[in-house]
Amino acid sequence: MGQGTPTSLAIIVAEEFGIPLEKVKINQLEMVSTDTNPYTWQTVGSRGLFSDGIALLRAIEDAKDQIKDTASRVFKVPIDDVEVSGGYVFSKSHPWIRKEIKEFAMGYTYPDGTTVGSPVIGRGSYAPVLNTFLDASGHGSNTVFHTYGGTGVELEIDLLTGKVKVLRAIQVYDVGKAIDPLLVKGQMDGGFIMGLGSALYEELKFDEDGRVINPNLINYYVPHFEDMTASIESYIIETPQKDGPLGARGVGEHVMIGVAPAIANAILRATGVKINQLPITAEKLWKAIKEQKPELIEKAQKLFFEEGIKEVQQV
Amino acid sequence: MKTISLKVNGIAKEITIEDNELLLNVLREKLGITSVKAACWRGECGLCTVLLDGIPVKSCMTLAVEADGKEVITAEGLYFDEKAKKLMESFVKHGAMQCGFCTPAFVVTSHYVLTKNPEIDGEELKKELNGVICRCGTYYQIYEAVKDAEKYYKKETKS
Amino acid sequence: MSFTTPYFTLPKFTYLKPKKLEDALSLLRQYRGKAKIMAGGIMLINLMKERKISPEYVIDIKGIEELKKISKTENGIKIGSAVTAIELQSYQIIRDNLPALAKAASYMGDRTLQHTVTIGGNISVGMPSTDGLPALMSMDSLLTIKSLDGERTIPASELVIGFGRTSLKDDEMITEIVVPYSRGFKGTYLKLINASEVAIATVAVSVLLKEKKLTVVIGAIAPRPYYFDHKSLQWNWEASLSENIKNASEIIGSSVKPMSDAVAGSEYRKEVSKVLAARALKEVFGGA
């Protein structure tokens, strides 16, 4: 299950019913158990919140309909006149006729003990309707939403060793609606770190027999604390996704995609050296510079020996 | 088989162990302390970090017998420490966790760092926390959370 | 849930924790060939998990106080073999006198592990990635090795003889490291790493300059670091620094035979050895 999904789902429930967030409990184990729940339509492509959110909104609608049905009988008003929000069930035309939502949770009980209605269990499900497989030419509509955004980096290259140091990163993503902006920001910054790992460090290496020769976290290096850039700016844009839950669309993995191209393009722009293979290790970049722009290395060497040293006295 | 006595989160314990048992296994399986995560088993990810007599160690690289006569503190024990509790609240405030698997190790390590030096330089802080890996990449948020919690550790040292 | 498969567990052994050096040495003799010394234990525990070694006895030397001392004498600075990487970075006596060693210690694993990593353990694992050995070699350090039969002293450069192999006999242990300098010299330790400091280095360079004596040690490219001095580098004290550095880095480049592994290839390591050596030389001679 994605890492912001349960929290975001809880926020949706709290907002829809107008109840405090602490009152909402998302059972994460049940959520992913296909013994008791239907299969969530794929937590891939960062669509966990998208799919679960729409299913949840439908379940909330179903639950509200049951509450409205009971309440219309209790309030003695037409069902269309009943509204559930802000923690209350009330009549739209006579707003002073209202009761707390919790009074309808198990059906409504009159003071004399007689009851009307029944326990409320809302159900909702979702599967995308307009998706197609891709045809032979690679065309089709194989996703329910597209998240747009961009990544920019500022970096430093050590021409003599090929080592790249990313100094600054800026990311802008249109997430439709940030249900929890703190989580979205975390996903964006975290996505950048993951992108940085795949762009510069992470590579499984094999020997002639196909055995992995770097099966540990020292040789298969993933980003560590010190790899974080000195500055990162992540901006959220909100153009609602009309069919998304409260206008939201997925963002988790998308952020990672832009990092490697941004780094490769920054290298290209700074040096004119093209790299089309990840990860861009110092060794790989050094070799590429040597093949494509050897004059840069010569220039850097010249600078090192002539500019830096001439003033220095020997002991 | 031998019996060792140690203090775990303030409670004195006597446990019977084998010489070849790792502290990590003893904490998780014999004492049920599950904030200490078992992941790489090679001292590389840092998720099993605990404080042994106040010093952070990776419990997958520590023999249980080495803890004989010492005090072990894990994230569970830090909950009763006023400053550490503020630190944990700061983690929540800054969203310094995604899947949460590395959070106990980061809390334990940053509690040690802030106790040692509440005015730690930013670059030095990154170095201190470099022994724990967060695969979700929450480093920016953890950095903010720890920096923000510095004030609680400073106050205490002044009084 | 319990983990019984190798890799999550250690093979059976008996744990011994002597308080005195003599006791440790007699245990080493008594269980000759069947015992392993544990200081920080990082390499030992991982090798045991991988079942590459299965000693019957593990002798923990962390309880021996005299192995944890650092002192300054007329003959230089003496460092006990169980001094940790954190202590090397934090003790004023090391920071003031041997900054290159303090810097090398800051690369020994990550900061958490540095509380446990010891200098003796770091240099005797015989791995290319060790940081202590190049730093100590550039300072012409001597190692005091003891066994029940007595004591012998070897230059740090004679410790490692191959991948994972040292010249220590199975009843001997390193007790002390003597760095024969305490003042009047400049040193530096540079490392090229593809990522942050905890990753394995491509190349490490340690340089020492004392009056008209110069040493350059290239580490991380082979189990045994490469040692050069002003003679083997054909250093000409009359010529310009720029010419000297250029010449020295060419000599280094043509003498080293780096390994290729998961970290980097041989050709690249050779080239970067030249670059890093030149930078380190420039640094010790004060060129910005």
CATH of the domain at B49: 3.10.20.30
Q: Which two tokens stand for residue C244?
A: 């000297």
Q: Confirm whether A125 is domain-assigned.
A: no
CATH architecture of C186-284: 2-Layer Sandwich (3.30)
**Touching subunits for chain C (3+ Cβ pairs under 8 A):** A, B
Residue C276 CB-density burial (10 A; 0-12 exposed, 13-18 middle, 19+ buried) = buried
Q: Is the CB of A226 less than 8 angstroms away from the CB of C286?
A: no
User: For C254-261, what is the mean pLDDT?
Assistant: 91
Chain A: residues touching C (Cβ < 8 Å): 160-161, 163, 200-201, 205, 213-214, 218-219, 221, 223-227, 281-283, 286-287, 304-306, 308-315
Residue B21 has what pLDDT? 95
User: For A283-288, what is the mean pLDDT?
Assistant: 95
Q: Which of B45, B74, B103 corresponds to the end of one domain?
A: B74
Residue C197 has what pLDDT? 79
Work out the pLDDT band at A251, boundaries 50, 70, 90.
confident
Residue C3 has what pLDDT? 46
Q: Which of A119, A139, A160 corresponds to the end of one domain?
A: A119
For the ranges A17-31, B67-81, C43-57, which has the lowest average pLDDT? A17-31
* Cα-Cα-Cα-Cα dihedral sign, residues A300, A305, A306, A307: positive
* Letter string b/e over residues A214-239, b meaning 16 or more CB atoms within 10 A of that residue's CB: bebbbbbbbbbbbbbbeebebebeee
Instruction: Choose, out of B125, B126, B140, the residue to mutate when testing the contact with A (most A CBs < 10 Å).
Output: B140
**Interacting residues of C118 by C-beta distance below 8 A, sequence separation 6+:** C39, C40, C81, C82, C83, C84, C85
Residue A311 has what pLDDT? 45
Q: Which two tokens stand for residue B2?
A: 């031998």
Point out the residue among A221, A286, A312 whose CB comes nearest to the CB of C286: A312
Same domain, yes or no: A173 and A248: yes
Residue C9, SS3 per DSSP: strand
**Which one, of B62, A98, A134, lies nearest residue C58 by Cα?**
B62
Q: Is the CB of A311 less than 8 angstroms away from the CB of C275?
A: no
Is residue C192 a contact partner of residue A282, using CB atoms and an 8 Å limit? yes
d(CA C193, CA C204): 9
The domain total for chain B is: 2
Same domain, yes or no: A65 and A181: no
Q: What is the Rg, in whole angstroms, of the alpha carbon atoms belonging to chain A?
A: 28
**What ipTM, to 2 d.p.?**
0.91
Same domain, yes or no: B58 and B87: no
Point out the residue among B44, B95, B143 whose CB comes nearest to the CB of A218: B44
Q: Which two tokens stand for residue A149?
A: 């955004």
Same domain, yes or no: A31 and A111: yes
Q: Confirm whether A142 is domain-assigned.
A: no
Chain B nearest CA to A79, separation (Å): 42
Element (H, E) at B50: strand B49-52
Q: Could you tell me which CATH number the domain at C65-179 has?
A: 3.30.465.10
Point out the residue among C194, C241, C242 whose CB comes nearest to the CB of A201: C194
Chain B nearest CA to A203, separation (Å): 15
CATH number for the domain including B152? 1.10.150.120
Q: Does C53 touch chain B (CB under 8 A)?
A: no
Report the length, in residues, of chain C: 288
Same domain, yes or no: B43 and B85: no
Same domain, yes or no: B89 and B63: no
Q: Is the CB of C265 less than 8 angstroms away from the CB of A283?
A: yes
Work out the pLDDT band at C1, boundaries 50, 70, 90.
very low
The percent of residues above 90 in pLDDT, for chain C, comes to: 70
Same domain, yes or no: B41 and B89: no
Is residue C185 a contact partner of residue C162, using CB atoms and an 8 Å limit? no
User: Token match 């998304």: residue?
Assistant: A244
- C288 contact residues in A (CB cutoff 8 A): 308
Same domain, yes or no: A108 and A223: no
Residues of chain C with CATH 3.30.390.50: 186-284
Q: Is the CB of A189 less than 8 angstroms away from the CB of B140?
A: yes
Q: Which two tokens stand for residue B142?
A: 């953890």
On average, the pLDDT of chain C sits at: 91
On average, the pLDDT of chain A sits at: 89
Residues of chain B with pLDDT under 70: 155-159
Residues of chain C with CATH 3.30.43.10: 14-60
Same domain, yes or no: A222 and A303: yes
Q: Is the CB of A3 less than 8 angstroms away from the CB of B127?
A: no
Work out the pLDDT band at A312, boundaries 50, 70, 90.
very low
Work out the pLDDT band at C96, boundaries 50, 70, 90.
confident
Q: Confirm whether A136 is domain-assigned.
A: no
d(CA A40, CA C8): 34
Chain C nearest CA to A2, separation (Å): 25
Residues of chain C with CATH 3.30.465.10: 65-179
Counting one residue from A and one from C, how many pairs have CB atoms under 8 Å apart?
Answer: 88
Q: Is the CB of A283 less than 8 angstroms away from the CB of C242?
A: no
Work out the pLDDT band at C2, boundaries 50, 70, 90.
very low
Domain that holds residue B21: 2-74
d(CA C124, CA C264): 23
Report whether pLDDT(C250) > 50. yes
Domain that holds residue A52: 5-119
Q: Confirm whether A254 is domain-assigned.
A: yes
Q: Which of B74, B99, B118 corresponds to the end of one domain?
A: B74
**Which one, of C225, C199, C203, lies nearest residue C276 by Cα?**
C203
- pLDDT tens digit string along C182-208? 777 888 999 999 888 788 888 999 999
Residue A77: φ, ψ to 5°: -130, 160
Report whether pLDDT(C280) > 70. yes
Same domain, yes or no: B113 and B133: yes
Same domain, yes or no: B91 and B33: no
* Cα-Cα-Cα-Cα dihedral sign, residues C109, C112, C114, C116: negative
- C197 contact residues in B (CB cutoff 8 A): 127, 130
Chain C nearest CA to A134, separation (Å): 39
The domain total for chain A is: 2
Same domain, yes or no: B70 and B125: no
Q: Is the CB of C111 less than 8 angstroms away from the CB of B130?
A: yes
β-pairing, A106-109 vs A163-174, is: unpaired
CATH topology of domain C14-60: 3.30.43
Residue C127 has what pLDDT? 86
**Which one, of A223, A226, A251, lies nearest residue A236 by Cα?**
A251
Same domain, yes or no: A175 and A248: yes
- Following DSSP, what letter does each residue of A173-191 receive, concatenated? EE-S--SSHHHHHHHHHHH
Is residue A159 a contact partner of residue A296, using CB atoms and an 8 Å limit? yes
Residue A33 has what pLDDT? 76
Work out the pLDDT band at C6, boundaries 50, 70, 90.
low
Residue A309 has what pLDDT? 55
Same domain, yes or no: A49 and A162: no
Same domain, yes or no: B152 and B130: yes
Work out the pLDDT band at A83, boundaries 50, 70, 90.
very high
Q: Which of B74, B102, B133 corresponds to the end of one domain?
A: B74
Same domain, yes or no: A159 and A298: yes
Q: Nearest-CA residue of chain C relative to B112?
A: C112
Same domain, yes or no: B62 and B9: yes
- pLDDT tens digit string along A120-156? 999 998 887 777 888 899 888 877 888 999 999 999 9
User: For C152-156, what is the mean pLDDT?
Assistant: 95
User: For A3-19, what is the mean pLDDT?
Assistant: 88
CATH number for the domain including A26? 3.30.365.10
